[in-house]
């Protein structure tokens, strides 16, 4: 009997990237007989490897589907789909995590060290005497202490930053001052000389940074958003940048992507735009995560990284 049928539902360039690593990872977990394909009759499919831009909307015809395995960490495109009646797993991949740690650390250090003054200041003026505080005297708040936020918090704490973190449920993490729930947000924001957003996009987290919450942060605070665009009220952020309440925003994610050319973020002197490149699912390591979940599904074991559909992440 052939192994499970796995439908890879993503753009064709992803198939080029993933076909070989997925086949390798499947055989490593003893599933070399799996049928991995981009085309299959819906009623024959056991697992769907899903990328948000696959345009797959209706899961109803997939009558023997056992699970949907999301290729990305964020699940906002699929989590609310009522036609999906089987478990949904998201991506937790050490390559993705390492990439995010590097991007976040780089952008935090840029702002902490005031690098822009020298990178943009090659004008014959000797700007001596601008000495940043040590990291131990700079507080950084991470909103979201999940797979990515906790790893970034740990890396920043290892550099001696005074790291605060905020999550939905209470947490204890060595070297990090943690805050949780709605009641903990004001304390976390009050400490945010630099804030990093690593929350999922859910109905509870949208506009978490708005005029009221931006006002709770220290004057001149820096916003770094590699999470999702809807976490920020764009107009409130632009207003706070214009008054100087917020010193700079480095934004990787936006409500509309690609960010439209006419969007004021592109030309604002206090905004840095990066094109959703903070971190990427890495084909080799992500394929091993997917293969392991299919092995678990076939063995009747609980899947890794299951999404709580009620919470939305
Ligand atoms: P996780 O699900 O592991 O972590 C999410 C964190 O957010 C958890 O700590 C969770 O709290 C917290 N959270 C969720 N809802 C709330 C709430 N209402 N109030 C307070 N805290 C809340 O996600 P990841 O760390 O893997 O990823 C985070 C996000 O990063 C993704 O959803 C995605 O949007 C984004 N991302 C961006 C990328 C890029 O290239 N720009 C690449 C990859 C991901 P608790 O721990 O209590 O559950």
Residue 280 near residue 99 (C-beta atoms within 8 A): yes
Complex confidence, ipTM: 0.99
**Domain 94-273 grouped into CATH 3.40.50.11140:** no
Task: Provide CATH 3.40.50.720 ranges for the chain.
Answer: 5-93+281-299, 94-273
Mind giving me the DSSP string for 248-262? EEEES--SSSSPPTT
Q: What is the pLDDT of residue 87?
A: 98
Q: What is the pLDDT of residue 198?
A: 99
- Angstrom CA distances, 293 to 58, 79, 290, stand at 22, 18, 5
Query: Ligand 1 mean position to 102 CA, how many Å?
Result: 17
Q: What is the pLDDT of residue 156?
A: 98
Query: Ligand 1 mean position to 61 CA, how many Å?
Result: 31
Q: Is the pLDDT of residue 1 over 80?
A: no
Q: What is the pLDDT of residue 125?
A: 92
Residues assigned a catalytic role: 228, 276
Q: What is the pLDDT of residue 53?
A: 78
Query: Ligand 1 mean position to 145 CA, how many Å?
Result: 7
How far, in Å, CA of 297 to CA of 22, rounded? 16
Mutate to test the pocket of ligand 1, among 189, 200, 224, 254 (most ligand atoms within 8 A of CB): 200
Cβ–ligand 1 contact at 226 (below 6 Å): yes
**Domain 5-93+281-299 grouped into CATH 3.40.50.720:** yes
DSSP letter (8 states) at residue 268 = -
Q: 138 CB contacts (<8 Å, ≥6 apart)?
A: 112, 132, 161, 162, 193, 194
Cβ–ligand 1 contact at 295 (below 6 Å): no
Predicted confidence (pLDDT) per residue in 72-128, tens digit: 999 999 999 999 999 999 999 999 999 999 999 999 999 999 999 999 999 999 989
How far, in Å, CA of 283 to CA of 96, rounded? 10
Q: What is the pLDDT of residue 55?
A: 79
Q: Is the pLDDT of residue 254 over 90?
A: yes
Q: Is the pLDDT of residue 221 over 80?
A: yes
Tokens of 177: 């001052």
Cβ–ligand 1 contact at 252 (below 6 Å): yes
Q: 41 CB contacts (<8 Å, ≥6 apart)?
A: none
How far, in Å, CA of 147 to CA of 170, rounded? 15
Q: 219 CB contacts (<8 Å, ≥6 apart)?
A: 244, 245
Strand partners, 290: none
Q: Which ligand 1 atom minimizes the distance to the CA of 182?
A: 19
Predicted confidence (pLDDT) per residue in 291-306, tens digit: 999 999 999 999 999 9
Q: What is the pLDDT of residue 164?
A: 98
The pTM (predicted TM-score) of the whole model is 0.97
Cβ–ligand 1 contact at 253 (below 6 Å): yes
Region 252-279: what's the mean pLDDT? 98
Predicted confidence (pLDDT) per residue in 8-28, tens digit: 999 889 999 999 999 999 999
Q: What is the pLDDT of residue 12?
A: 87
Cβ–ligand 1 contact at 200 (below 6 Å): yes
Closest CA to 149 of 178, 120, 122: 178
Q: What is the pLDDT of residue 162?
A: 98
Query: Ligand 1 mean position to 67 CA, how many Å?
Result: 21
Strands of the 88-89 sheet, one edge to the other: 35-37, 5-9, 47-50, 67-70, 88-89
Q: What is the pLDDT of residue 52?
A: 83
Q: Which ligand 1 atom minimizes the distance to the CA of 90?
A: 26
How far, in Å, CA of 122 to CA of 291, rounded? 51
Strands (E), 74-206: 88-89, 139-143, 162-167, 177-180, 194-197
């Amino acid at each position: 009997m052939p192994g499970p049928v796995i439908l890879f539902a993503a753009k064709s360039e992803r198939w080029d990237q993933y076909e070989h690593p997925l086949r390798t990872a499947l055989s490593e977990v003893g599933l070399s007989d799996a049928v991995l394909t981009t085309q299959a009759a819906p009623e024959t499919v056991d697992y769907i490897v899903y990328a948000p831009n696959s345009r797959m909307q209706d899961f109803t015809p997939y009558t023997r589907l056992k699970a949907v395995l999301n290729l990305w960490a964020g699940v906002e495109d699929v989590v609310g789909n009522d036609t999906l009646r089987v478990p949904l797993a998201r991506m937790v991949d050490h390559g993705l995590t390492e990439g995010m740690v590097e991007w976040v650390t780089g952008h935090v250090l840029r702002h902490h060290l005031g690098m822009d003054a020298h990178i943009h200041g090659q004008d014959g003026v000797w700007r001596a005497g601008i000495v940043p505080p040590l990291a131990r005297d700079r507080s950084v708040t991470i909103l979201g202490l999940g797979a990515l936020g906790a790893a970034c918090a740990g890396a920043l704490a290892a550099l001696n930053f005074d790291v605060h973190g905020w999550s939905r449920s209470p947490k204890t993490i060595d070297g990090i001052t943690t805050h949780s729930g709605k009641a903990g947000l004001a304390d976390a924001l009050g400490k945010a000389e630099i804030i990093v957003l690593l929350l999922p996009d859910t109905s509870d987290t949208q506009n978490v940074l708005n005029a009221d919450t931006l006002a709770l942060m220290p004057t001149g605070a820096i916003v770094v958003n590699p999470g999702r665009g809807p976490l920020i009220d764009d107009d409130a952020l632009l207003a706070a940048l214009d008054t100087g309440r917020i010193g700079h925003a480095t934004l990787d994610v936006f409500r509309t992507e690609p960010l439209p050319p006419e969007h004021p973020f592109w030309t604002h002197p206090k905004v840095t735009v990066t094109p959703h490149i903070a971190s990427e699912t890495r084909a080799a390591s992500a394929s091993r995560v997917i293969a392991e979940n299919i092995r678990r599904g076939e063995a009747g074991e609980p899947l890794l990284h299951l999404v709580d559909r009620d919470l939305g992440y």
